[in-house]
Amino acid sequence: MPFRTITVEGTRWRVQPTGLSTPYIKDEFSLIFTREDPARRETRVTRYSPRIARTREASFMALTDDDLAALLVHSQPSATSPEAFYSR
C-alpha cells in the first residue's frame, strides 16, 4: 500500500489508504493517519470521495498535502473506527 508523510502544526503523520472497502467501493475511500512520534502514538481515520481518479491508489496520490491536512482535521479517533479495528 502506498503511503505519504505530511507535517501538520509541527507533527509528522504517516498517511495511507486503509485497504478496507465500504459498500460504496468507487465512491468513498478511507485513509489512516498515524502520528510518527513513538512517545505520543495516535491513529486517526477519515473517509473521502475521490475527485477524478476512481482507483484507491491513484486518488490518494492525487491529493495534495493541503488536502490531506484538511482531511486530518476532520478525522476520527481510531477507537471509533472500524477501519482501525476500534483500537485505542
What is the average pLDDT across 3-18?
95
Query: Concatenated DSSP letters for the chain?
Result: ---EEEEETTEEEEEEE-----SSTTT-EEEEEEES-GGG--EEEEEE--SS--SHHHHHHHS-HHHHHHHHHT-EEGGG-GGGTT--
Among 44, 55, 52, 67, which residue's Cα sits nearest to residue 19? Answer: 55
16/38 Cα distance (integer angstroms): 18
Q: What is the pLDDT of residue 18?
A: 86
User: pLDDT digit string (tens) for 24-76?
Assistant: 666 788 899 999 988 888 999 998 888 877 788 888 999 999 999 999 999 99
* pLDDT band at 80; cut points 50, 70, 90: confident
Residue 20 has pLDDT above 90, yes or no: no
pTM of the model: 0.84
